[in-house]
Amino acid sequence: FTFVTKSKSVTTMAAVQDCPGNLKRQVEKLFDASLRSTVPDETGVQTEVTASLPGKPGDYQCNNAMGLWSIIKGKGTQFKGPPAVGQALLKNLPTSEMVESCSVAGPGFVNVILSSKWMAKSIETMLMDGIDTWAPSLPVKRAVVDFSSPNIAKEMHVGHLRSTIIGDTLARMLEYSKVEVLRRNHVGDWGTQFGMLIEYLFEKFPDTESVTETAIGDLQSFYKESKSKFDADPEFKEKAQKAVVRLQGGDAIYRKAWTKICDISRAEFAKVYQRLRVELEEKGESFYNPYIAKVIEELNSKGLIEESEGARVIFLEGFNIPLMVVKSDGGFNYASTDLTALWYRLNEENAEWIVYVTDVGQQQHFSMFFKAARKAGWLPESDKTYPRVDHVGFGLVKGEDGKRFRTRSSEVVRLVDLLDEAKTRSKTALIERGKDKEWTPEELDQTAEAVGYGAVKYADLKNNRSTSYTFNFDQMLSDKGNTAVYLLYAHARICSIIRKSGKDIDELKKTGKLALDHPEERALGLHLLRFAETVEAACANLLPHVLCEYLYELSERYTSFYSVHQVIGSAEEASRLLLCEATAIVMRKCFHLLGITPVYKI
Ligand code: ARG
């Protein structure tokens, strides 16, 4: 391959395209125009528009007046103070059918009340053209999401489960935003542990060719056994160390044994991915091996690398230890592989945004090699500018005892068992409700699966990812409170109302009958229209819980609406059915983005 490192191209968030579905952006655009005509000379001022808090007089507000005032007051302005600036911002607001009325409050906040008619029309347009018209647009074409990434022959633990769930959601949100996502499983398949594993394999199964998965059995125990031998037996240890060299040197027999071990692990991982319906493309650490030497050489030619105690390292400002990139025995490590993978992703795969999902414990590693990459000129100085890298760190999963989540016998929890238990429990709950008599066995099984796996995913995603959370089956499978079960049931109930009405929704959509005349209808409609800006915020900040909060609030607003307004048989039936349909569509999109399979009856 030819070795070229591209000079960086720079894009910032300001390059975000117009997004017709994004309500906040549309209000922002109006204020952009007003700001430009109110203070034509202050071209550097960014428009600040936020959604108003519940109970406030507007739907959105512009918060620029005070900041503007402090900029212009010394410059001989005609304005008398922030409220006057606010008044001018209001006066210069272009007329738009989306705005019902505006007012200035306090020190110049401009409140905007949206037109209910316009809101109803926008929802109808979505019903006609589909929810994809509400997708955010991001200033990147291609991204890498590096997630799950367990280590071969070692346990795939709950930390990897979190990475899998969070990474999949982020990938889904980016994909929805029309970004091409390379879903990368950066499996640990190239450590020194392979020497010992391969030697142990040779010892236990001299006829390595014919050894099968079942013969090795549980790869984790196999790992443990070989590790104890490695620690106890110096002769074995030496053999293992030589084995690493032969493997990395490309010896065919060692390579074959390595492949065998990787295949067995891979089959285990696949069971988890298959249950969660998560797609990943494996490019493990070994993939980058042929490129490492050249990447290190490039860093060296840029003067980044120094010798330290026999190793080769990069000293980085703000860190008291250097980043080791070549070990004293000449071998490469986690950091050299990650630097090389980053180089590959930027230059060979042309990714503009690279997102790494691991526990917060690895934060220092990421900060350090990101910094080294900036020093090498691979990335722009500003970390919000593209091409961009982000470490998406997450907290621990804890057990009821407050400690790291383990089974009762304090073993590592097998993820397949954990997921199976979620499904079994949700099936039991469905049978208790008599669903086995109502549904076909397939329906029962599919619903149990959707609810069980959905519950595990949602319990993880609803927390701000950087915090730790406690794993609790009873809580996550409860049909009350902020759980997947509650939300899935809420969706199913909406679907059943639509079914019971006997009306053809596709016909209704064409009638233009949707209206938001009552406060609860309007509140629900407004929340629906905030979907696009919410997904955009969740994407931009890589925070899935923002979408969960949105979804939960949506179901609450729906409940408030439904508990006071009759749908079927009312004078507003057509309008309300359309509102139900729009709610169900947005809920389903949320489920989809969270990797949860919706259910339609309950
Ligand atoms: N295999 C690592 C672990 O289990 C995670 C790898 C994350 N990705 C990366 N490019 N470093 O902790």
State in Å: Cα 492 to ligand 1 middle.
38
pLDDT, tens only, 240-253: 999 998 998 889 99
State in Å: Cα 294 to ligand 1 middle.
22
Residues 70-91 have a mean pLDDT of 92
- Ligand 1 pocket residue status of 352, Cβ below 6 Å: no
State in Å: Cα 322 to ligand 1 middle.
20
Mutate to test the pocket of ligand 1, among 286, 358, 392 (most ligand atoms within 8 A of CB): 358
Residues 125-150 have a mean pLDDT of 96
Instruction: Give dist(CA 570, CA 562) in Å, integer.
Output: 12
Beta bridge partners of 307: 312
pLDDT, tens only, 534-584: 999 999 999 999 999 999 999 999 999 999 999 999 999 999 999 999 999
Q: How confident is the model at residue 209 (pLDDT cuts 50, 70, 90)?
A: confident
Whether 419 and 275 have beta carbons less than 8 Å apart is answered as yes
Instruction: Give dist(CA 582, CA 233) in Å, integer.
Output: 67
Q: By alpha-carbon position, which residue is closest to atom 8 of ligand 1?
A: 186
- Ligand 1 pocket residue status of 358, Cβ below 6 Å: yes
The percentage of the chain sitting over the pLDDT mark of 90, rounded to a whole number, equals: 85
Instruction: Give dist(CA 294, CA 288) in Å, integer.
Output: 11
Q: To the nearest whole number, what is the mean pLDDT of the chain?
A: 93
Amino acid at 509: K
Which of 224, 231, 240 shows the shortest CA–CA distance to 154?
224
> What pLDDT, on a 0 to 100 scale, did the predictor assign at position 214?
64
Q: Is the pLDDT of residue 14 over 50?
A: no
| Atom nearest to 356 CA in ligand 1 | 8
pLDDT, tens only, 219-230: 888 888 999 999
Q: What is the 3-state secondary structure (H, E, C) of 92-135?
A: CCCCCCCEEEEEEECCCEEEEEECHHHHHHHHHHHHHHCHHHHC
Q: Is the pLDDT of residue 2 over 60?
A: no
> What pLDDT, on a 0 to 100 scale, did the predictor assign at position 215?
65
pLDDT, tens only, 352-407: 999 999 999 999 999 999 999 999 999 999 999 999 999 999 999 999 888 888 76
Q: Which of 244-253, 292-301, 476-485 has the lowest mean pLDDT?
A: 244-253
Q: What is the pTM of this model?
A: 0.94
Whether 59 and 52 have beta carbons less than 8 Å apart is answered as yes
- Ligand 1 pocket residue status of 146, Cβ below 6 Å: yes
- Ligand 1 pocket residue status of 338, Cβ below 6 Å: yes
pLDDT, tens only, 87-129: 999 999 999 999 999 999 999 999 999 999 999 999 999 999 9
Q: Is the pLDDT of residue 493 over 80?
A: yes
State in Å: Cα 13 to ligand 1 middle.
28
Q: By alpha-carbon position, which residue is closest to atom 3 of ligand 1?
A: 150
> What pLDDT, on a 0 to 100 scale, did the predictor assign at position 4?
61
Q: By alpha-carbon position, which residue is closest to atom 7 of ligand 1?
A: 149
Which residues are within 8 A (CB) of 152 and not within 5 positions of it... i.e. 6 or more apart? Answer: 187, 188, 189, 194, 261, 262, 265, 266, 284
Q: Which of 6-10, 336-340, 439-443, 540-544 has the lowest mean pLDDT?
A: 6-10
Residues 505-521 have a mean pLDDT of 95
Q: How confident is the model at residue 6 (pLDDT cuts 50, 70, 90)?
A: low
Q: Is the pLDDT of residue 13 over 50?
A: no
- Ligand 1 pocket residue status of 188, Cβ below 6 Å: yes
> Cα dihedral sign for 553, 559, 562, 564?
negative
Whether 243 and 199 have beta carbons less than 8 Å apart is answered as yes
State in Å: Cα 504 to ligand 1 middle.
50
Strand 353-359 with 142-146, pairing:
parallel
ipTM surpasses 0.95: yes
Instruction: Give dist(CA 75, CA 89) in Å, integer.
Output: 18
Q: Is the pLDDT of residue 42 over 80?
A: yes
Whether 134 and 153 have beta carbons less than 8 Å apart is answered as no
Residues 171-190 have a mean pLDDT of 97
Residues 231-239 have a mean pLDDT of 95
- Ligand 1 pocket residue status of 356, Cβ below 6 Å: yes
Instruction: Give dist(CA 245, CA 347) in Å, integer.
Output: 29
Instruction: Give dist(CA 291, CA 298) in Å, integer.
Output: 11
Write the DSSP string, 225-238.
HHHHHHHH-HHHHH
